[in-house]
Structure 1
């Protein structure tokens, strides 16, 4: 039986890439730790993602490709993820701490076979690659959708300030929160870590 070809679905979507900043994995112990940190990253993403209505498109080598209906839920998720990671790092020993880069763009995409393709995906990936560890970078299209909402401040980059790489969109960095992590979030991260510590 020949399967019918899958239909392409075109839409304008908020696309996010997360990427864990890799360590030097030179010995088996370091490779094992890298795998454990990737699992922690995945747990945090999958714990927080449903709360902002996002969906996991796929896991990548260093993180995730995620999709949202708009820029606001994407940014809220990105801020929450960085907050949760900051809580995690406060509880974890120095050798188990990690940092993420996050990039978001709203643009046209093609959905096919459960994956996403197109300009929106390509630009989100390039924006994530620009981000410094521990930061959230977004495009101007995202900023237009979050303008006026209660979020951390954003810093606008000059086009020629991004490592000599010119993008067809303006890029902003959402500044990390300066306030201490919320107690409920801290307690939730502790509960995520507890089973691993118990097994250890």
Structure 2
């Protein structure tokens, strides 16, 4: 999963490497990434019928959640609503300082989730989900423990699309199985593409 400033342009395809200003958020737990699409709607009531004649759509929520395992600047900035570290003092090694704001503020980002579907040795397909505008809507508790790494659980919620757009996300892929009427094939394990090499 990678983030960039809000409204960073859509990547050209599902396989091209993400260049600056995109920055990877690093490793996640083995639970992977969870997508959720929730539509709230209410059926109309009528004296002549027991079933609704139509539905009134009230809201749409599209979220992406993951638990990150690397305590790095990009992860902490997203978790704490835009917090950034800066070097302080002149000593060696350098020291860094960040303030956790007492006033929550909006921190809108563009978001990309990359993964591959390995069907066989010769059928390896790439997928990329791009959200032009998203914000962390929920954070999980973080526990510092001697028996496990720090974990930073976050849920990103898609925001209203930019002016002139009608979507909250775009799915890019080179997998022909997504076409209507494509032959059915057994899908393989999903392998997340890591943008970072952990140290």
* TM-score band w.r.t. shorter chain: under 0.3
- Greater fraction helix: 1
Q: TM-score, normalised by structure 1?
A: 0.25
Q: TM-score, normalised by structure 2?
A: 0.25
Determine which structure has more spread, i.e. the larger CA radius of gyration. Answer: 2
- Greater fraction strand: 2
